[in-house]
Structure 1
Amino acid sequence: MNSLAKQNYSTAAEDALNAQIQIQQTASHVYLSAAAYFARDNVALPGLQKFFQEQAHEQQEEAQFLIDYQTTRGGHSQLRMIPEPNTEWNSAMNAIESSLSLEKDVNKASLNLTTLANDQHDPHLFHVLKKRPLTHRVQSIEELAKAITQLQRTGGEGLGLYLIDQDIYKHGNFSLGRLGMDRSL
């Protein structure tokens, strides 16, 4: 049954929005899994745990925004099964590399959705998507890429990893410019 609110909202756009919702929920699930891994007593990296919990929360908020938008436009959100995420990460480097790949996938899907809105002559969807912070996604990709570089420099374990983790815990993100700047140590 079609919604009375539906106007100039194509089935292709509705389907693409549902796909984007699933991508966002999958990313949130992966980040929750990584947070749980870093919280384990035999891993114990609270900075990475905090970072991944925040990433999961951001992805879930974005999925909820899209669900709400779908409803506003008269579309139907179809929440599909989310694939089971990895629960074992070989290292912090492995988790960050996986996150970088995931962020690129989410960004690419967002850009494709924006292109679809334009192609479908749906100015409202296009406007809403353009207002969303695509800059934040690009900055996240850059931050993760720099984090990989920093982990490579430290060997990705031991004291170097500990210092990076403590900096993440203290500042809530990979504050790479501040790393090693605390002269009180």
Structure 2
Amino acid sequence: MYEWAVIYTDTDSKGTLKPTDINVPWRDMVDPCVKLAEAQIKVEIHAAMKYLAMAAYFGQDKVSLPGFSKFFFDAANEEREHAKKIMKYLAMRGELSGGVTHLIQPLGEITESPTSGLQALKDALALESQVTREIRNLIQMCETPKDSDFNDYHLVDYLTTDFLDEQHKGQRILAERISILGKMVNTQGGLADFLFDIKLLNGEI
């Protein structure tokens, strides 16, 4: 027969479980690095919301470019996944101990009406380039933080391997698609977005 032990924890009057005070100095990330990592979460969430807005725009019945819509929905999912990865990393390092609501707010106004498919791709490339620059800034801060000689090799390696590699490959793909669609616009005129959309939807490009 098994004997079950009941462990009583400290709760408040509403029965809410209070956080445990570990009292062991195991966290070692420096504050500037943590702050920039939190800022990067906001950058990724903002990018995701911009892509969601663009996906919704192209999915409207009056626009009806489902290939572009799918492309930007996929891009939004990717950016959300990046934000989740950084959140999980901070949690793993013991640095996600406060509220997170402030980390998942957009950084500014979200526009949703690109003038064309080509402009939408150019906007996406500009956005990805900005995200890449922010990741580089985060890497630099965590590698050589101000007022500290602590080099966070683990986070730097994680960001370089998992994030920068994907960013550069993604930017290359966007640049190629901009080039292809630009040529189609020059030869096909107003039909270019429609023809390119079919290729996107069928996975031909």
The residue aligned with 1:88 is 113
User: Alpha-carbon deviations, 1:88-111, whole Å to 9, x = none?
Assistant: 211112211110100000111111
The residue aligned with 1:97 is 122
**Conserved 8 A contact 1:5-1:73:** no
The residue aligned with 1:151 is 181
**Conserved 8 A contact 1:6-1:75:** no
- Which of 74, 89, 102 aligns to 2:94? It is 74
**Conserved 8 A contact 2:41-2:104:** no
1:107 aligns with 2:132: yes
Percent identity over the alignment?
A: 28
Q: How many residues align?
A: 173
Give the secondary-structure state (helix, strand or coil) at the position aligned to 1:74: coil
Whole-angstrom distance in 1 between the partners of 2:37 and 2:91: 11
Greater alpha carbon shift after TM alignment, 25-34 vs 76-85: 76-85
- Which of 158, 170, 191 aligns to 1:140? It is 170
Whole-angstrom distance in 2 between the partners of 1:74 and 1:114: 19
Give the secondary-structure state (helix, strand or coil) at the position aligned to 1:101: helix
Q: Deviation at 1:72?
A: 1.3
Whole-angstrom distance in 2 between the partners of 1:140 and 1:80: 23
Change (3 A) 1:5 1:167: farther
The residue aligned with 1:61 is 81
**TM-score, length-normalised on structure 2?**
0.77
User: Alpha-carbon deviations, 1:67-120, whole Å to 9, x = none?
Assistant: 111111121355153123102211112211110100000111111211222113
Unaligned runs of 5+ in 1: 176-185
Unaligned runs of 5+ in 2: 1-18, 146-150
1:165 aligns with 2:200: no
Change (3 A) 1:6 1:64: farther
**Conserved 8 A contact 2:116-2:193:** no
**TM-score, length-normalised on structure 1?**
0.85
**Conserved 8 A contact 1:32-1:53:** yes
Q: Which has the larger radius of gyration?
A: 2
**Conserved 8 A contact 1:5-1:72:** no
The residue aligned with 1:28 is 48
Greater alpha carbon shift after TM alignment, 110-119 vs 63-72: 110-119
Change (3 A) 1:6 1:50: farther
